[in-house]
Structure 1
Amino acid sequence: MKPVFVISSNIVSPLASTANENFDLLKKGISGIQLHHTAIAPEPFYASLFSEDAGFTAPDSSPDAYTKFEQLLIASMQDALSLSGVDVTSSRTALVISSTKGNISLIESQPITESVKKRVALHSSAKAIAGYFGFQSHPVVVSHACISGLVALITGMRLLQSGRYDHAVIAGADIITRFVLSGFRSFHAVSDMPCRPFDANRNGITLGEAAATIILSVEKPGGKESIRLAGGAASNDANHISGPSRTGEELHQAIEAAVREAGIDKNTIDFISAHGTATVYNDEMESKAINLSGLQQVPVNSLKGYYGHTLGAAGLIETVACVHSLKENIILPTPGFEVRGTTQPLAVSSALQEGVYSNCLKTASGFGGCNAAIVLRKAV
């Protein structure tokens, strides 16, 4: 099968609106997480949220033509497309949209009419966004809990490998609403402090909102170095609707399958970008999976301390950061981490590391016991 390359990317977050700007701030250790007092909760909470006056109105449209969720996707896609030269009007260009909640905020702010029911459906947003840009291909929607971003990337890779498409635009976003925040709080999963992945004092997630886009192609880009999406796989724990595997075996299976497809030796993996939500059970499960894969000595980080957990955008945002890390030969630290709090050993990155890095493993897990892993490689 033809190799698949990352040819452009974007992150729109409370930190910045381009991938380069975001990564520059991450290298400086700057986080978007702050204490917020908003109408979506009766008491203050930590999160990474856009300011209320942040404007994302799509050009050539009325302010209310697209929801905040859709405007975020459009803004992210516009920047990535401007860097890629990809023709979205070609039938050889695919569109994949990733989100866990989409326009769910509409049911909080409006009467639930037939019109609102249609607008809340994720395929409605995908169709509107495809129409805005002029895509000729039918958009694909991936909504698979917190592995949505990675599954969307794997889906895009498979579409290109099938030979049907030459390019795939993968975009994901989620916004934090009363519904989302209260849902995680009902599980007692939200931290009362900025999240602390893999730390002994971790006590839950910090939520965040953002959008990200990655454009994949079978055509190798020019320039100094290019990055391949070389392998990917998904698995399921079949354990519990909200509690992850107690053994890590199933994430381990996804890691093994992704590495196998990438055609590399596990000993050549230079760093791992983990899901690292800072919940007690997720971080413990990931530590077990990494040990089962024999990767406990490989530097591992979590970026949740910069962005919070951005749900359907998380896998994409963190993959963009991985691409930049490989290109700049940098491993980012894990904000909030001080003392290891997992029963299995991990080489958690606690400071910026520089070296020569060629291969990266990215993992994710989510409700329903879902897991995913991808491998990124420098192209030779």
Structure 2
Amino acid sequence: MNRNYLLGDSIISPLGFNTSENIEAVRNERSGLKLHNNSRFFENGYYAGLIENKIIDTEFIKIGKPELHTKLEKLLILAVNQVLDQSPALDLKETGLVISTTKGNIDQLRNDLSPIGSLYLWKMAQVVADFFGFKQKPIVVSNACISGALAIKTANDLIGMGRFSKAIVAGGDLVSDFVLSGFQSFQAISDKPCRPFSNDRSGVSLGEAAAAVLIGPGDQENQEKIAYIDAITANDANHISGPSRTGEGLYQSISRLFKKNKIEATQIDYISAHGTATMFNDEMESIAFDRVSLNQVPLNSFKGYYGHTLGTSALIESILTKHSLLKNELFTSLNYSEHGVSKNLNILQKNEKKELGLALKTASGFGGCNLAMLLKKER
């Protein structure tokens, strides 16, 4: 099977409305997490990365009518539009659209006038596809917080099967009352910006964003590009929300991925971890990384910049990993203070320039799902 690459991309978040703005914000250690009011759930407010509707509409009015679409649909459309602008010759008859999300338009439950159809994930995906004229039915990937990376794997597999020649993977999720109440019911939301892997972490911060990436064969021969090598998923079936205490699911994902692709731990130059800053997730990841001898590999979490963007998180982080590889640039794990997990990890505490070739992206989610993915710089 021919190898596919991560080509044009877009990130839309509180840190910026394109990938370059987001990278510049991360490079300058700027966080999108701000204090917001919500007296219904949080007496003293809560920290999250939110995007103002006014800013979204200002951008969207350049390509469509804001009043015809939900907030999430607008974000997804804006992200896909940027990718299409980067590839004007793309044939939409042969290009697939894969959407990753966990909750879709769930925020519309607050709107009594909202058509019930907008709540269906397939319907939301079709709205995005119809906006651009994709000829094939869009595919929705919704598997908790590995959805963004799993959508990349899904797109790659379907291209390999001959269903598409290329595919755009787009992801998006919002910080809705539904999501806030769910995480608050676990008492999992931090009262300050999240601090992944730190001893003073107190829980997750949420965020909203959209992202998109074009996946397919490389177009230019003598230019460095990032290859999708492989991804493996495993489910530890431990608990509806809590990961395996032994890191078994993530361990199985990584170890099977390495074995299948004949990779040794010493070949990995960088790990983009899930790193939600919850007690169980961070500890589970540290155990899994220790079990596969990845303790010394530079590692970060991007949650301190974006919060946990749910079905978008692994997609955003894969795009950032792509650019880290291309630029030989590693970013600090924002808000990290002192080591707060039982196993030694090489957590990035400052931005670094380093020759990079092979990266590991991991993700984990509710229901025990785990994913490990390899991305490699090639010419």
Alignment TM class, shorter chain as reference: over 0.9
CA distance in 2, matches of 1:149, 1:314: 6
Aligned match of 1:211: 210
AA partner of residue 307 (structure 1): Y
1:239 alignment partner, SS class: coil
AA partner of residue 256 (structure 1): S
Task: Mark the CA change 1:262 to 1:12 in structure 2 (over 3 Å): closer, same or farther.
Answer: farther
Percent of matched pairs sharing the same residue: 42
Aligned match of 2:77: 74
Aligned match of 1:35: 35
Aligned match of 1:304: 303
1:24 and 2:24 aligned:
yes
CA distance in 2, matches of 1:97, 1:316: 11
2:201 and 2:278 in contact (8 A); partners too? yes
Deviation at 1:86, TM superposition (A): 5.0
Aligned match of 1:105: 107
CA distance in 2, matches of 1:217, 1:58: 30
Task: Mark the CA change 1:146 to 1:102 in structure 2 (over 3 Å): closer, same or farther.
Answer: same
1:37 alignment partner, SS class: strand
CA distance in 2, matches of 1:222, 1:31: 36
AA partner of residue 352 (structure 2): Q
Deviation at 1:61, TM superposition (A): 3.6
Deviation at 1:337, TM superposition (A): 0.6
1:315 and 1:364 in contact (8 A); partners too? yes
Aligned match of 2:156: 157
2:31 alignment partner, SS class: coil
1:53 alignment partner, SS class: helix
1:100 and 1:145 in contact (8 A); partners too? yes
Give CA-to-partner distance per residue, 1:78-117, whole Å, 9 cap, x none: 1112113352522x21110000011001112226xxx733
| Residues matched between the structures, number | 376
Aligned match of 1:338: 337
1:360 alignment partner, SS class: strand
1:208 and 1:307 in contact (8 A); partners too? yes
AA partner of residue 68 (structure 1): K
2:66 alignment partner, SS class: coil
2:53 and 2:71 in contact (8 A); partners too? no
AA partner of residue 75 (structure 2): L
Alignment of 1:108-187 (within 5 A): 108-110=110-112, 116-187=115-186
1:3 and 2:8 aligned:
no
TM (norm. structure 1) is 0.95
Task: Mark the CA change 1:74 to 1:40 in structure 2 (over 3 Å): closer, same or farther.
Answer: farther
Unaligned 5+ runs, structure 1:
none
Alignment of 1:56-67 (within 5 A): 56=57, 57=60, 59=62, 61-67=64-70
Unaligned 5+ runs, structure 2:
none
2:202 and 2:277 in contact (8 A); partners too? yes
Give CA-to-partner distance per residue, 1:46-103, whole Å, 9 cap, x none: 011112422243655432211000000000111112113352522x211100000110
CA distance in 2, matches of 1:264, 1:228: 15
1:232 and 1:261 in contact (8 A); partners too? no
Deviation at 1:293, TM superposition (A): 1.0
TM (norm. structure 2) is 0.95
1:27 and 1:332 in contact (8 A); partners too? yes
Give CA-to-partner distance per residue, 1:170-220, whole Å, 9 cap, x none: 000001111111110000110001000000111100000000101101234
